[in-house]
């Protein structure tokens, strides 16, 4: 379902990353571990089509993501890839519900599952609240809900547990796993947080610059 092969990437002439090949089937999970600066966000951005590799392929289903660009890439990503960013990218002036509807709108989806999703993530009661009034943990769950609003085939999460205590880290990883399993989506978590290994044993380690 997801196949990543022979990726080469560099921000500048001195720094090129070694990016391991990845192959994941629908419903499978992968943890990408690495210390700070090892290239975890970089690989996540390549998998999500936010950065173009210099060489190699990222294929999701039958689509070569690295060959798409512009509006086609945005639409494909919006429909098939849910990204939970390290810092929540949710729109502060909007309510929780409006943030999800906006994600639906970009790809012409109806968002039939939005309310159910908010219930499952424990933020249904906050659906009419502006994002600015939420706690950090609630805002993070909104950003997870928004990433899942269009039933993506691939869920990518960047350091979702970094600032959480053990109990909440475990809750957030389980939420991501449950949602991925519900829709048979592939789940990739990139993190330096070794605690996540307790939940996802399938892991690779980023080695940094090569």
R_g of the chain computed on alpha carbons: 17
Task: Considering the complex, state which of residue 12 and residue 165 has its C-beta at the smaller distance from ligand ATP.
Answer: 12
CA distance 152 to 183: 8
Q: Does 16 bind ligand ATP (CB under 6 A)?
A: no
Q: Does 79 bind ligand ATP (CB under 6 A)?
A: no
Q: Does 163 bind ligand ATP (CB under 6 A)?
A: no
Cβ 96 vs Cβ 107: under 8 Å: no
Cβ 58 vs Cβ 7: under 8 Å: yes
Q: Does 14 bind ligand ATP (CB under 6 A)?
A: no
Neighbours of 197 (CB within 10 A): 13
Instruction: Give 4-49 as a DSSP string.
Output: EEEEEEEEETTEEEE---EEE-TT-EEEEE--TTSSHHHHHHHHTT
Task: Considering the complex, state which of residue 39 and residue 49 has its C-beta at the smaller distance from ligand ATP.
Answer: 39
How many Cα atoms occupy the beta-carbon half-sphere of 107 within 13 Å?
Answer: 24
Task: Give min distance, CB of 44 to ligand ATP, in A.
Answer: 8
Q: Does 20 bind ligand ATP (CB under 6 A)?
A: no
Q: Does 29 bind ligand ATP (CB under 6 A)?
A: no
**The pair of three-digit structure tokens given for residue 36, joined into one six-digit string:** 């700070």
Q: Does 150 bind ligand ATP (CB under 6 A)?
A: no
Give the residue, chosen from 22, 39, 60, 155, that forms a contact with ligand ATP under the rule CB under 6 A: 39
Q: Does 161 bind ligand ATP (CB under 6 A)?
A: no
Give the residue, chosen from 5, 23, 37, 116, that forms a contact with ligand ATP under the rule CB under 6 A: 37
Return residues touching ligand ATP (CB under 6 A): 11, 34, 36-42, 192
């Amino acid at each position: 379902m997801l196949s990543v092969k022979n990726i080469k990437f560099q921000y500048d002439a001195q720094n090129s990353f070694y990016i391991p090949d990845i192959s994941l089937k629908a419903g499978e999970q992968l943890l990408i571990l690495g210390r700070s600066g090892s290239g975890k966000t970089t690989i996540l951005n390549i998998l999500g089509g936010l950065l173009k590799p210099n060489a190699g392929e990222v294929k999701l289903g039958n689509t070569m993501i690295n060959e798409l660009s512009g509006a086609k890439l945005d639409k494909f990503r919006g429909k098939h890839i849910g990204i939970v960013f390290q810092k929540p990218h949710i729109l502060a002036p909007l309510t929780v519900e409006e943030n999800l509807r906006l994600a639906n709108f970009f790809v012409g989806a109806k968002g039939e599952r939005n309310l159910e999703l908010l219930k499952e993530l424990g933020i249904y009661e906050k659906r009419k609240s502006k994002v600015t009034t939420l706690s950090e943990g609630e805002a993070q769950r909104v950003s997870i809900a928004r990433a899942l609003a269009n039933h993506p085939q691939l869920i990518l999460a960047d350091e979702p547990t970094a600032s959480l205590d053990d109990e909440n880290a475990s809750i957030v990883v389980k939420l991501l796993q449950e949602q991925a399993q519900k829709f048979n989506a592939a789940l990739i978590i990139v993190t330096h947080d070794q605690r996540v290994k307790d939940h996802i044993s399938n892991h690779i380690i980023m080695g940094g610059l090569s």
